[in-house]
Structure 1
Amino acid sequence: MSGAAGALRSLRTDLPGEAPKQQGQPPLWRAALFGLCPECGASGLFEGPARFRPRCRACGLDYGRYNVGDGPAAFLTLIIGALLIAAALSLDFAFEPPLWVHILLWVPLTAAAVLYGLRVGKAALLASEHQRQAAEGRRAEDGDD
């Protein structure tokens, strides 16, 4: 690009491998798997099982400005449900265990997989929004107020 359009181009719009990373920022996969702050890499992104803290305890990054919501919930639940149903049917066809074995095995495994999947999915979305400096869309006539 040349001219004014090329001069306004930001480093954040390039591919992730091309932009220089700030020191201390964990990669997306590490922030998602371990619940790390996308800015400083401190642990403790979550306050509850799948609820974010209001801000980072180490660097003060406000997590409330990111709109992660519950987007990953239905998607991850369907994927995890399909995988666990396939595993349960395979176990049933191979060994034919009694019903109580299925209950003792699959109920806690399903709850743990969905909860951990939500944490990873929500943390990945938050870290991705932070790395790309995502924000709410604004119309030009709204101004900068």
Structure 2
Amino acid sequence: MTDDSADADRPTGLAMRRGAIRRCPACGEGHMFTGYLKIRDHCDHCNEALYHQRADDGPAYLTILIVSHLGAPLLLWVFLTYQPSPVSMLIWFSVGAVTLSLAFLPLIKGAFVGAQWARRMHGFGGPEAEPSST
């Protein structure tokens, strides 16, 4: 059973956009990451707890899906239009895939964490959402 008033104070789209720009999903001011993909335990601006996040492999899978769906049609078009050598295609498309993956991964992970925060998943709902120690 969901409470619509509880969801209204945490808009999912806004939280995901804030996360995608690597900011705290709660305030939009503090930095979410301490490194390339390491999430801070707490926001340095509003002190919102961020250690609850459980993005796991989801951002990596979604990154692979997006990069492959962008690269496959482009690869086919380049091959049919320009007919470059296989070695040059291997080099350029490998570099492109790695570059896109490295660019998309933190954006997608931030959006995942923002969605989890907005939907109160994995303990983001506050002390009442924490599992009991019994």
TM-score range, shorter chain: 0.7 to 0.9
2 CA distance for matches of 1:91 and 1:105?
A: 11
The offset of 1:100, in angstroms, is 5.1
Query: Aligned match of 2:27 in 9, 24, 40?
Result: 40
Counterpart of 1:125 (choices 106, 112, 119) is: 112
- The change in CA–CA distance for 1:109 and 1:49 in structure 2 (over 3 A counts) is farther
Q: CA deviation at 1:10?
A: 5.8
Identity between Structure 1 and Structure 2 (%): 20
Query: Compared with structure 1, are the counterparts of its residues 81 and 43 closer, same or farther at alpha carbon in structure 2 (3 Å cutoff)?
Result: farther
Establish whether residue 109 from structure 1 lines up as the match of residue 96 from structure 2: yes
Q: Distance in 1 between matches of 2:75 and 2:4?
A: 49
Determine the structure 2 residue equivalent to 1:51. 38
Corresponding residue of 2:69: 82
What is the root-mean-square deviation of aligned Cα atoms in Å?
2.9
Q: Which residue of 12, 35, 38 maps to 2:6?
A: 12
Give the 4+ runs in structure 1 shifted more than 4 A. Answer: none
- The CA deviation at 1:44 is 2.6
Instruction: Using the TM superposition, name which of 92-101 and 38-47 deviates more.
Output: 92-101
Amino acid paired to 2:106: R
Whole-Å separation in 2 of the counterparts to 1:70 and 1:51: 14
Q: Given that residues 50 and 115 in structure 1 are in contact (C-alpha distance below 8 angstroms), is that contact kept between their aligned partners in structure 2? A: no
User: Which consecutive residues of structure 2, in runs of 5 or more, have no partner in the other structure?
Assistant: 124-130
Query: Matched residue of 1:133: which SS?
Result: coil
Shift of 1:41: 0.4
TM-score, normalised relative to structure 2: 0.72
Task: Report the TM-score, using the length of structure 1 for normalisation.
Answer: 0.68
Question: Between Structure 1 and Structure 2, whose CA radius of gyration is higher?
Answer: 1
Unaligned runs of 5+ in 1: 14-18, 137-142
Equivalent pairs, count? 125
CA contact (8 A) 2:31 2:43 kept: yes
Q: In the superposition, relative to structure 1, how do residues 109 and 43 fare at CA in structure 2: closer, same or farther (>3 Å)?
A: farther
